[in-house]
Amino acid sequence: MSASTPPWVDALTGLLAATGALAALIGSFGVLRLRSFFQRVHAPTLGTTLGTWCLTLATVVQVSFEHGQLYVHALLISVFIALTGPVTTLLLMRAAVFRGRLRGMEIPVPTVDDPPAE
């Protein structure tokens, strides 16, 4: 395929890709820079949500205008990442809390405001 896409499609694709890449870079910088694990676990969310959505939308725009027909297959990746990212983060945080308590770290027990149901 030659370069048959209009210029504004190229600009939109490039801007989406650059935005997503910048979000992923900021998230990875947070992983390296933040001090404790429970602060660091928040940072990659940027890359997994904004970065993945922007780059898959860029792919959808580019491929659709290249073939003259709507192709949304790239959104499968972002839907999959949106489903699996919180699961991984939750499991990892539970493992970190468990291992921190084993090491004797001061981890506060979650407080419940309402009384138990019985």
Are the C-beta atoms of 19 and 54 separated by less than 8 Å? yes
Q: How far apart are CA 86 and CA 89, in angstroms?
A: 5
Q: Which of 68, 69, 70, 87 binds other proteins (CB under 8 A)?
A: 87
16-38 in b/e burial notation, b at 16+ Cβ within 10 A? bbebbeebbeebeebeeeeeeee
Q: How far apart are CA 58 and CA 14, in angstroms?
A: 7
Question: Pattern 52-71, binding to other proteins, x per CB under 8 A?
Answer: x--xx-xx--xx--x-----
The DSSP letter of residue 5 is S
Q: Among 72, 94, 101, 107, which residue sits at the site for other proteins (rule: CB under 8 A)?
A: 94
Residues that bind other proteins (CB under 8 A): 1, 3, 7, 10-11, 13-15, 17-18, 20-22, 24-25, 27-29, 31-32, 37, 40-41, 43-44, 47-48, 51-52, 55-56, 58-59, 62-63, 66, 73-74, 76-77, 80-81, 84, 87-89, 91-92, 94-96, 98-99
